[in-house]
């Protein structure tokens, strides 16, 4: 049940209409049943997996919170981590590590090593709900939060369908209080949710799906052998595709949650307007970068153990963050590129801008930056990110290197003019949209519109939403692409 499929909105409308007619505990039961139905729509066999993880973590967290025995607390934490990461490792990385071990042994001249290769189906969303469950158990262990005493509320925290398949990963301290207490119907929040859904559909169906047509053609060789033109086309198109795809998904997820009175933290803040890689990771997939910081980088020592250790921690965090995306060396290399980049920026003393400096066009110290300097840094960082996207998109490291190497080969065909025009038609609106949101510090276009007539802001934003949906109908790609992050 994909967020861009009509059946999802039939499902969503039915659940919303029933939901607001129930008391809050019955609302939780309804959302839990609806979430398991939603997840079972993908593959009912994996319902047992998420249910097992939920039951075990609920019980272990309670034991950890009640115990005063440090050894018992550590043992329960270890059991939870082994369970969660064991499920994730088996379904996502078993064949990857077996294959990597075989290749290593053969490269050392130890002969052909045989090993099991299983036809393992990756459960939808396993990386996302695993990280959310780990965040909960670790926070309880650290005594940062109290364990949830109501099983239904905790199960809903893990499986709430808007974030279940591809996030955003929810902080326990933010979402658990919402599942554990009554929600109030707020027309303004519901309206904002509908606007986020409309914006998300535009990003996904108009921007991402059309950019995907060009990216797939470029990377598959349909536009010819890698050359300056085809590399640029593929690189820019995939940059538009993955951003439009995942930010669109996040908007729809956040909008769907708001229809039920929940609030999800924002997951994207115009990442391609970043002026350094550190700032990019404060804008891109914020829920994942925050999780990596809080539950990996800081426990490794963060920046508290000297500069050399800080560089190693940055590199290790990003390598594991890359591996989180999938069982392929391309993701590890992609994470390594960003890890090295972050370490170099720290060595050079380049600091990301604070949130209050972003819309004001100021540097990390709050000093206004000249427009030419700001845009020069944006362009440089955007292209570094795009080059890394080539590695991310390629099927293998060798393929990515072959593709990048093609940028030095000049070849031109008349069809490239049409391809670049197509790319501009469906990528420049994304840039324009981000510039508007950055300037006005909004989550969706028109969020802060005001008017002398009370209904005017709602009427104007409703007209904007209608226009976005009309563009989805008119300019939506003829063939919808699956959400990229569903595979992670």
Contact assessment for residue 237 and residue 428, using Cβ atoms and an 8 Å cutoff: no
- Encoding tokens for residue 199? 């914006």
Q: How far are the Cα atoms of 128, 197, 341, 437 from residue 335, in angstroms, in the given order? A: 18, 30, 10, 28
Give the count of beta carbons closer than 10 Å to the beta carbon of residue 324. 20
Contact assessment for residue 98 and residue 124, using Cβ atoms and an 8 Å cutoff: no
Contact assessment for residue 317 and residue 292, using Cβ atoms and an 8 Å cutoff: yes
CA nearest neighbour of 239 among 397, 367, 474, 428: 428
Looking up tokens 């392929």, which residue turns up?
Answer: 328
Looking up tokens 């992670």, which residue turns up?
Answer: 488
> Distance (Å, rounded) from C-alpha 268 to C-alpha 272?
10
Q: Of residues 325, 338, 383, 402, which has the active-site annotation?
A: 325
Sign, Cα dihedral of 327, 328, 330, 333: positive
- Beta strands in 42-123, from DSSP E residues, in sequence order: none
Looking up tokens 């300097």, which residue turns up?
Answer: 373
> Distance (Å, rounded) from C-alpha 64 to C-alpha 3?
37
Concerning whether 325 is annotated as a catalytic residue, the answer is: yes
Contact assessment for residue 209 and residue 481, using Cβ atoms and an 8 Å cutoff: yes
Give the count of beta carbons closer than 10 Å to the beta carbon of residue 456. 12
Give the count of beta carbons closer than 10 Å to the beta carbon of residue 443. 18
> Distance (Å, rounded) from C-alpha 334 to C-alpha 355?
26
Beta bridge partners of 248: none
3-state secondary structure of 396: coil
Residue-by-residue DSSP string for 37-87: HHHHHHHGGGHHHHHHHHHHHHHHHHHHHH---HHHHHHHHHHHHHHHHHH
3-state secondary structure of 453: coil
CA nearest neighbour of 208 among 361, 4, 21: 4
Q: How far are the Cα atoms of 188, 277, 352, 437 from residue 377, in angstroms, in the given order? A: 38, 10, 12, 19
Which residues are known catalytic residues?
Answer: 325
């Amino acid at each position: 049940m994909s967020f861009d499929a009509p059946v999802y909105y039939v499902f969503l409308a039915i659940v919303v209409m029933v939901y607001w007619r129930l008391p809050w505990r019955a609302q939780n039961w309804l959302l839990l049943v609806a979430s398991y139905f939603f997840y079972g729509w993908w593959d009912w066999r994996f319902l047992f997996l998420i249910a097992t993880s939920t039951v075990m973590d609920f019980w272990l967290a309670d034991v950890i919170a009640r115990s005063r025995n440090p050894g018992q607390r550590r043992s329960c934490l270890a059991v939870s981590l082994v369970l969660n990461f064991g499920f994730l490792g088996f379904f996502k990385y078993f064949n990857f590590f077996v294959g990597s071990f075989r290749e290593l042994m053969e490269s050392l001249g130890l002969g052909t090593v045989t090993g099991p290769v299983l036809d393992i189906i990756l459960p939808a969303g396993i990386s996302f709900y695993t990280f959310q469950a780990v965040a909960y158990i670790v926070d309880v262990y650290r005594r940062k939060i109290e364990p949830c005493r109501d099983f239904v509320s905790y199960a809903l925290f893990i499986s709430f369908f808007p974030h279940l398949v591809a996030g955003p990963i929810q902080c326990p301290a933010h979402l658990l209080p919402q599942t554990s207490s009554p929600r109030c119907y707020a027309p303004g929040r519901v309206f904002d949710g509908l606007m986020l859904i409309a914006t998300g559909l535009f990003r996904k169906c108009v921007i991402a799906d059309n950019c995907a047509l060009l990216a797939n053609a470029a990377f598959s060789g349909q536009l010819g052998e890698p050359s300056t033109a085809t590399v640029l086309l593929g690189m820019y198109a995939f940059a538009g595709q993955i951003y439009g795809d995942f930010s669109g998904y996040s908007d729809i997820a956040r909008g769907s949650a708001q229809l039920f009175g929940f609030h999800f933290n924002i997951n994207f803040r115009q990442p391609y307007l970043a002026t350094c890689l550190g700032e990019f990771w404060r804008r891109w997939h914020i829920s994942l970068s925050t999780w990596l910081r809080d539950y990996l980088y800081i426990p490794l020592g963060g920046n508290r153990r000297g500069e050399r250790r800080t560089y190693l921690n940055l590199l290790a965090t990003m390598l594991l963050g890359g591996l989180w995306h999938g069982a392929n060396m391309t993701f590890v290399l992609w994470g390594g590129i960003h890890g090295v980049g972050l370490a170099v920026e720290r060595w050079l003393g380049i600091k990301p801008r604070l949130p209050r400096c972003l819309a004001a066009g100021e540097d990390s110290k709050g000093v206004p930056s000249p427009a030419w300097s700001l845009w020069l840094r944006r362009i440089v960082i955007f292209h570094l990110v795009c080059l890394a996207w080539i590695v991310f998109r390629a099927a293998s490291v060798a393929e990515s290197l072959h593709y990048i190497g093609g940028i030095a080969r000049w070849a031109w065909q008349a069809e490239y003019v049409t391809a670049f025009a197509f790319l501009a038609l469906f990528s420049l609106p994304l840039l324009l949209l981000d510039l508007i949101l950055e300037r006005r510090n909004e989550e969706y276009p028109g969020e802060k519109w005001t008017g002398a007539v009370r209904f005017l802001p709602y009427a104007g934003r409703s007209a904007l939403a209608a226009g976005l949906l009309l563009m989805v109908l008119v300019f939506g790609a003829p063939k919808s692409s699956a959400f990229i992050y569903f595979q992670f």
